[in-house]
């Protein structure tokens, strides 16, 4: 009988970190069971906030980047982890694409400092080229997530914002079991039914992990015309609020689809730090109100 080194359902213990065949193993217990994960990281952070969505393209990274900047501007020591390992966009949105992570003593990693109160880590800082793909399976991602938590010199943080990839897979499961002091999760959606369907799954995912749902944010809720400033409901309106009511979770607010917000992200300038015309911008007002609602939610 031919011998094989592939793990089988009878012998696999789900411990990927100690298994030499983990990169070739398709046993679902490798990522589905918490027993194979390392213990929670010991980092000095008061509140960890997870930002996730059921599907891509809803503006989750935009919310994460602006939330982190808003907290830092309010005087809070804030960290931002970009855990969208296969598509890290946070550095582009913050204008720090060319930054690289530095380490000392052979292990400790220095995050990229954006302001005196805001530090960031992202897979993008480790790639040789901007278009280099990350072709990893679950065990590799678990390792880098733990490093981003434990090996980074974050200092004492008031908030650690975690920008997760779409869905409810490896990254979300791993950070939920490794991160300390999780204040809860923010779910980002757009108004149309197909996005609401997936966002409801994200809410149920958070509830199954027995974590608080801080609330739902409805992004792209109407379009602000750059000429007349009128709002047009391109993707509909109110779907996020209705879903929040149906699921019994807070509704944090809605954000219009605004050309200036898109430009700000492409130019690496978080929209929340806009100064000129901020008081007249309905999008800026909405965003600032959502940031304040989140701070109040966590404080309560």
Mean pLDDT (whole number) for 263-269: 89
Query: What number is the average pLDDT over the span 216-240?
Result: 83
The most confident of the ranges 118-127, 129-138, 226-235, 288-297 is 118-127
Q: Look at residue 257 and tell me whether its pLDDT is greater than 80.
A: yes
Instruction: Tell me the pLDDT tens digit for each residue of 18-49.
Output: 554 544 554 433 444 333 333 444 568 999 99
- 57 annotated among ligand-binding-site residues: yes
pLDDT at 22: 47
Residue 243 has pLDDT above 70, yes or no: yes
21 appears as a binding residue in the annotation = no
pLDDT given for residue 284 in this prediction: 84
CA 101 from centroid of its chain's CA atoms: 19
Q: CATH for 39-299?
A: 3.40.50.300
Burial of 266 (0-12, 13-18, 19+ CB in 10 A): exposed
Is pLDDT above 70 for 279? no
What average pLDDT is seen over the chain? 83
Question: Mean pLDDT over residues 49-70, rounded?
Answer: 92
Q: Where are the domains of the chain?
A: 39-299
| Cα 147 from Cα 107, distance rounded (Å) | 9
Does 207 count as an annotated binding residue?
no
Confidence of residue 282 (pLDDT cuts 50, 70, 90): confident
Q: What is the mean pLDDT of residues 164-181?
A: 92
- Return the residue matching tokens 């793990």: 7
Query: Can you point out the beta strands (E) in the chain?
Result: 45-52, 78-82, 102-104, 108-110, 112-113, 118-122, 157-163, 182-189, 213-218, 223-224, 231-232, 251-254, 257-258
Q: Determine if residue 58 is labeled as part of a ligand binding site.
A: yes
Q: Is 162 marked within a binding site?
A: no
> Is residue 7 predicted with pLDDT exceeding 70?
no
Tell whether the model's pLDDT for residue 168 goes beyond 80: yes
Query: By percentage, how much of the chain surpasses pLDDT 70?
Result: 83
CA distances in angstroms from 74 to 45, 161, 272, listed in the order given: 17, 15, 12
Please compute the mean of the pLDDT values over residues 137-157 and round it to a whole number.
92
pLDDT of the residue at 43: 67
54 is in an annotated binding site: yes
* 285 known ligand binder: no
Residue 241 annotated as binding site? no
Q: Is the pTM of this model over 0.95?
A: no
- Rg (Cα) of the chain, in Å, rounded? 20
């Amino acid at each position: 009988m031919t011998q094989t080194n592939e793990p089988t359902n009878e012998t696999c213990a789900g411990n990927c970190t100690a298994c030499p065949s983990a990169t070739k193993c398709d046993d679902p217990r490798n990522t589905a069971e918490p027993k194979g994960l390392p213990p929670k990281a010991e980092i000095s952070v008061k509140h960890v906030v997870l930002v996730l969505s059921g599907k891509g393209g809803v503006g989750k990274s935009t919310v994460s980047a602006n939330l982190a900047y808003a907290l830092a501007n309010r005087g809070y020591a804030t960290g931002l982890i970009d855990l969208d390992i296969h598509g890290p966009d946070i550095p582009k949105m913050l204008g720090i694409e060319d930054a690289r992570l530095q380490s000392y003593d052979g292990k400790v990693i220095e995050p990229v400092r954006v302001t005196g109160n805001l530090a960031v880590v992202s897979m993008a800082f480790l790639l040789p080229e901007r278009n280099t793909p990350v072709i990893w399976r679950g065990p590799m991602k678990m390792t880098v997530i733990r490093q981003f938590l434990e090996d980074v010199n974050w200092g004492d943080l008031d908030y650690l914002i975690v920008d997760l990839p779409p869905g409810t897979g490896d990254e979300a499961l791993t950070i939920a079991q490794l991160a300390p002091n999780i204040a809860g999760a923010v779910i980002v959606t757009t108004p149309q039914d197909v996005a609401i369907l997936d966002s409801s799954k994200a809410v149920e995912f958070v509830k199954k992990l027995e974590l608080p749902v801080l609330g739902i944010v409805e992004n792209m809720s109407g379009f602000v015309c750059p000429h007349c400033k009128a709002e047009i409901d391109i993707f509909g309106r109110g779907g996020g609020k209705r879903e929040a009511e149906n699921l019994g979770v807070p509704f944090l607010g809605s954000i219009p689809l605004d050309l200036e917000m898109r430009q700000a992200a492409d130019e690496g300038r978080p929209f929340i730090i806009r100064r000129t015309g901020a008081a007249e911008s309905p999008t800026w007002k909405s965003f600032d109100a959502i940031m304040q609602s989140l701070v109040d939610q966590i404080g309560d």
